[in-house]
A and B are shown apart, each in its own frame.
Chain A
Amino acid sequence: MIKTLKRVFSYAKPYFIFFVLTIIFAAAGITLSLAVPVFIGEAVDCCVNKNSVDFESLKKVLVKLVSVVVTSGLFQWIMSLCTNKLAFFTVRDLRADAFAKLERVPLRYIDSRTKGELSSRVINDIEIVSDGLLQGFTQFFSGVMTIIGTLVFMMSINVKIAVVVVILTPLSFIAASKITKASHDSYVQQSKLRGDMVGFAEEMAGNQKIVKAFVYDKRAEEKFFKINNQYGKIGAKATFLSSISNPTTRFVNGIIYASVGLLGSLSVIGASSFIGTMSVGKLSSFLAYSNQYTKPFNEISGVFAELQNAVASAQRVFDLLDEEEIQDDSDKEKLENCNGTLSFENISFSYNPERELIKNFSLDVESGKKIAIVGPTGCGKSTIINLLLRFYDIDSGKIVVSGKDTKNITMDSLRNNFGMVLQETWVFTGTVAENIAYGLPDASREQIISAAKAVHAHGFIKRLPNGYDTVISEDSGLSQGQKQLICIARIMLMNPPMLILDEATSSIDLRTEQRIQRAFTKLMQGKTSFIIAHRLSTIKNSDTILVMKDGNIIEQGNHNDLMKKNGFYAQLYNSQFVS
Chain B
Amino acid sequence: MKNLLKYLKNYRKELFLGPLFKLLEAIFELIVPLVMAEIIDKGIGNNDKKYILLMSGLIVLLGVCGLGFALTCQYFASKCAYGFGTELREALYKHINKLSYESIDKMGTSSLVNRLTNDSNTVQNGVNMFIRLATRCPFLVIGSTVMAVMIDAKLALIFFVVAPLIAGIIFFIMNKTVPMYKNTQKKLDRAALLTRENLEGTRVIRAFSRQQEEIDEFNNAVNDIAESSVAVGKISAILNPFSFMIMNLGIVAVLYFGGVRIDTGNLTQGELTAFVNYMTQILLALIVLANLIVIFTKAFASAKRINEIFELQPEKNSEFAGDNNSENIIEFKNVSFRYSGAGDNSLKNISFTLKKGQTLGIIGGTGSGKSTLASLIPCFYPANEGEILIDGINVNNYDKDYLRKKISIVPQKAVLFSGSLRENMKWRDENASDEDIIFALKTAQAWEFVEKMPDGLDTFISQGGKNLSGGQKQRISIARAMVGNPDILILDDSTSALDYATDLKLRKALKTDMSGTTVIMISQRTTSLKDADKIIVMEDGEAVGTGTNDELLENCEIYREIYNSQMNAKEENK
Which of A1-9, A262-270, A348-356, A445-453 sits within the interface? Answer: A262-270
Question: Which residues of chain A from 193 to 212 have a CB within 8 Å of any chain B CB?
Answer: 194, 197-199, 201-212
Chain A residue nearest to B475 in the complex (CB): A377
Does A177 sit at the interface, judged by CB under 8 A?
no
Does A522 sit at the interface, judged by CB under 8 A?
no
A84 pairs with B197, CB closer than 8 A? no
B66 pairs with A247, CB closer than 8 A? yes
Chain B residue nearest to A262 in the complex (CB): B56
> Pick the contact of A84 from B47, B213, B215, B229 — CB < 8 Å?
B229
B248 pairs with A232, CB closer than 8 A? no
A243 pairs with B569, CB closer than 8 A? no
What separation, in Å, do the CA atoms of A73 and B472 have in the docked complex?
66
Does A404 sit at the interface, judged by CB under 8 A?
no
Q: B64-104, CB under 8 A of A: which get 1 and which 0?
A: 10110011001101110111011001100110110101001
What separation, in Å, do the CA atoms of A55 and B264 have in the docked complex?
12
Does A251 sit at the interface, judged by CB under 8 A?
yes
A514 pairs with B110, CB closer than 8 A? no
On chain B, the number of residues with a Cβ less than 8 Å from chain A's Cβ atoms is 161
A221 pairs with B97, CB closer than 8 A? yes
Does B222 sit at the interface, judged by CB under 8 A?
yes
Question: Which residues of chain B from 186 to 243 have a CB within 8 Å of any chain A CB?
Answer: 188, 191-193, 195-215, 218-219, 222-223, 225-226, 229-230, 233-234, 237-238, 240-242
Given A199-B418, A211-B97, A510-B524, also A268-B83 (CB < 8 A)? no
A-B pairs, top 9 by smallest CB distance, nearest first, are A254-B63, A232-B86, A247-B70, A80-B237, A377-B471, A84-B233, A262-B56, A509-B365, A236-B82
- List A contacts of B196 (CB < 8 A): 115, 119
- List A contacts of B197 (CB < 8 A): 428-429, 474
What separation, in Å, do the CA atoms of A231 and B195 have in the docked complex?
33
B380 pairs with A213, CB closer than 8 A? yes
A53 pairs with B259, CB closer than 8 A? yes
- List A contacts of B463 (CB < 8 A): 199, 202-203
Known pairs A77-B242, A378-B472. 7 more at Cβ < 8 A?
Answer: A44-B273, A52-B263, A88-B226, A119-B195, A208-B96, A284-B40, A512-B366
Does B389 sit at the interface, judged by CB under 8 A?
no
Chain B residue nearest to A198 in the complex (CB): B117
Does A460 sit at the interface, judged by CB under 8 A?
no
Given A48-B269, A102-B198, A258-B56, also A537-B226 (CB < 8 A)? no
A239 pairs with B56, CB closer than 8 A? no
What separation, in Å, do the CA atoms of A476 and B411 have in the docked complex?
22
> Pick the contact of A251 from B44, B66, B121 — CB < 8 Å?
B66
B411 pairs with A508, CB closer than 8 A? no
- List B contacts of A511 (CB < 8 A): 365
What separation, in Å, do the CA atoms of A254 and B203 have in the docked complex?
64
Q: B395-424, CB under 8 A of A: which get 1 and which 0?
A: 000000100110011011001011000000
Question: Which residues of chain A from 410 to 445 have a CB within 8 Å of any chain B CB?
Answer: 411-412, 415-416, 418, 420, 422, 426, 428-429, 438-439, 441
B44 pairs with A269, CB closer than 8 A? yes
A438 pairs with B210, CB closer than 8 A? yes
Number of A-B contacts (CB under 8 A): 435
Residue of A58, A205, A385 with highest tally of chain B CB at under 10 A: A205
- List A contacts of B401 (CB < 8 A): 215
Given A53-B260, A197-B117, also A377-B199 (CB < 8 A)? no
What separation, in Å, do the CA atoms of A44 and B195 have in the docked complex?
61
Which of B167-175, B250-258, B319-327, B337-345 sits within the interface? Answer: B250-258
What separation, in Å, do the CA atoms of A505 and B244 have in the docked complex?
67
Q: Pull 20 A–B residue pairs with CB atoms less than 8 Å apart, ordered by A.
A: A36-B248, A46-B259, A69-B252, A85-B230, A122-B195, A123-B192, A205-B112, A208-B109, A214-B427, A231-B86, A254-B63, A262-B52, A265-B39, A265-B56, A269-B52, A377-B471, A411-B209, A438-B204, A479-B366, A535-B569
Does B540 sit at the interface, judged by CB under 8 A?
no
B412 pairs with A62, CB closer than 8 A? no
Does A579 sit at the interface, judged by CB under 8 A?
yes
On chain A, the number of residues with a Cβ less than 8 Å from chain B's Cβ atoms is 157
What separation, in Å, do the CA atoms of A50 and B82 have in the docked complex?
57
Distance between A167 CB and nearest chain B CB, rounded to angstroms? 16
A103 pairs with B215, CB closer than 8 A? yes
Does A540 sit at the interface, judged by CB under 8 A?
yes
Does A576 sit at the interface, judged by CB under 8 A?
yes
- List B contacts of A65 (CB < 8 A): 248, 251-252, 255
Residue of B43, B498, B530 with highest tally of chain A CB at under 10 A: B43
Question: Which residues of chain B from 254 to 300 have a CB within 8 Å of any chain A CB?
Answer: 255-256, 258-260, 262-265, 269-270, 272-273, 276-277, 280
What separation, in Å, do the CA atoms of A132 and B117 have in the docked complex?
25
Given A422-B203, A536-B569, also A221-B411 (CB < 8 A)? no
- List A contacts of B128 (CB < 8 A): 239
Does B534 sit at the interface, judged by CB under 8 A?
no
Does B455 sit at the interface, judged by CB under 8 A?
no
> Pick the contact of B199 from A33, A115, A572 — CB < 8 Å?
A115
B74 pairs with A243, CB closer than 8 A? yes
Does B378 sit at the interface, judged by CB under 8 A?
yes
Does B531 sit at the interface, judged by CB under 8 A?
yes
- List A contacts of B569 (CB < 8 A): 535-537
> Pick the contact of A244 from B49, B71, B225 — CB < 8 Å?
B71
- List B contacts of A96 (CB < 8 A): 215, 218-219, 222
B562 pairs with A510, CB closer than 8 A? yes
B404 pairs with A214, CB closer than 8 A? yes
A261 pairs with B241, CB closer than 8 A? no
B242 pairs with A254, CB closer than 8 A? no
Does B430 sit at the interface, judged by CB under 8 A?
yes
Does A464 sit at the interface, judged by CB under 8 A?
no
Which of A152-160, A222-230, A361-369, A524-532 sits within the interface? Answer: A222-230
What separation, in Å, do the CA atoms of A215 and B98 have in the docked complex?
11
Does A564 sit at the interface, judged by CB under 8 A?
no
A247 pairs with B496, CB closer than 8 A? no
Residue of A43, A429, A481 with highest tally of chain B CB at under 10 A: A43
- List A contacts of B29 (CB < 8 A): 250
Distance between B375 CB and nearest chain A CB, rounded to angstroms? 9
B472 pairs with A269, CB closer than 8 A? no
Does B53 sit at the interface, judged by CB under 8 A?
yes
Question: Which residues of chain A from 285 to 333 have a CB within 8 Å of any chain B CB?
Answer: 287-288, 291
- List B contacts of A100 (CB < 8 A): 215, 218
What separation, in Å, do the CA atoms of A579 and B503 have in the docked complex?
10
Chain A residue nearest to B116 in the complex (CB): A201
Does A89 sit at the interface, judged by CB under 8 A?
yes
A429 pairs with B193, CB closer than 8 A? yes
B241 pairs with A77, CB closer than 8 A? yes
- List B contacts of A275 (CB < 8 A): none
Given A203-B417, A280-B40, A537-B569, also A266-B49 (CB < 8 A)? yes
Given A62-B255, A235-B82, also A250-B70 (CB < 8 A)? yes
A123 pairs with B218, CB closer than 8 A? no
Does B2 sit at the interface, judged by CB under 8 A?
no
B241 pairs with A73, CB closer than 8 A? yes
Does A507 sit at the interface, judged by CB under 8 A?
yes
What separation, in Å, do the CA atoms of A535 and B565 have in the docked complex?
12
Does B147 sit at the interface, judged by CB under 8 A?
no
- List B contacts of A204 (CB < 8 A): 417
